[in-house]
Amino acid sequence: MTKLTKSQLKDFLDSKALLYNNPKFIESDPIQIPHKFHKKEDIEIAGFLTATIAWGNRKSIINNASQMMQLLDNTPYDFVINHTDADLEQLNGFVHRTFNGEDFKQFIKSLKYIYTEHNGLENIFAKYSEAHNLQFAIHKLKQHFFEISHSQRTQKHVSDPLKGSAAKRINMYLRWMVRNDNVGVDFGIWDLISPSQLSCPLDVHSGNVARKLGLLDRKQNDAKALKELDDSLRKLDPVDPVKYDFALFGLGVFEGF
């Protein structure tokens, strides 16, 4: 494709964002799992757990995230807050790739700690948010998440941008919670954080498309690449930069761009 001017690139990506940021997107995306709930805390927890296992085949992510919700009696917040040790035993057999029952049980215990001692997930991200960035806040979430007694193996399932990770899944989760897209895909239920602070979930698809469009030079999909992509997208739309996640993802997955 011939190199586009900045205004042509913006028009092209705006049109693709509009095309893919619509309710039909939900049908094939893991975001459908938190959409099964109505209570704020249920949406938050269902979304967080779903995003945590959102790597690999999308169909298996959706199936396994559905199974997660069934194991939590389809009342994720109530289960997190009121579970007993005996309740946790029913999570033992769960597995999604390298995330297993032991990890699942740890996540439930840590989430209870986050809600009872830190006033919930939104509060942590808002407390540590920076002007144009939530990467330090993600780092702090990981710290607080593992302040309680935990299995060392589970730490790998929460990314840390300060250790070089692009933290794709948590950035995707933050998009779900913070952006109000007015069409009912992203939830927009967190009003302590602005969409302008969000980062694009950077993965193989969005990274490859971003490089082809000249939005990203760095070869690895890591924290430095995320910063570079963020800078490029904020120039196109400083108010809602991660709407372009829909464009990059759609171009990569649905159009083989």
The pLDDT of residue 132 = 86
- Token readout for 155 is 């730490």
The pLDDT of residue 257 = 85
Residue with tokens 């001692």: 117
Query: Per residue in 129-154, pLDDT tens?
Result: 998 899 999 999 999 999 999 999 99
Sign of the C-alpha dihedral computed for residues 150, 155, 157 and 161 taken in this order: positive
Domains of the chain: which residue ranges?
6-253
- Token readout for 26 is 């939900």
Q: Which amino acid is at 256?
A: G
Query: Per residue in 64-97, pLDDT tens?
Result: 999 999 999 999 999 999 999 999 999 999 999 9
Angle between helix axes 204-212 and 244-253 (nearest 10 degrees) is 100
Q: Which amino acid is at 174?
A: L
Residue-wise burial string across 189-209, b where 16 or more C-beta atoms lie within 10 A, e elsewhere: bbeebebebbbbbbbebbbbb
Spatial distance between the Cα atoms of 81 and 163, rounded to a whole number of angstroms: 31
Q: How confident is the model at residue 1 (pLDDT cuts 50, 70, 90)?
A: low
Spatial distance between the Cα atoms of 246 and 122, rounded to a whole number of angstroms: 23
Residue 15 burial (CB < 10 Å; 0-12/13-18/19+)? exposed
Cβ neighbours around 55 below 10 Å, total:
15
pTM of the model: 0.96
First to last CA, the chain: 10
Spatial distance between the Cα atoms of 239 and 174, rounded to a whole number of angstroms: 15
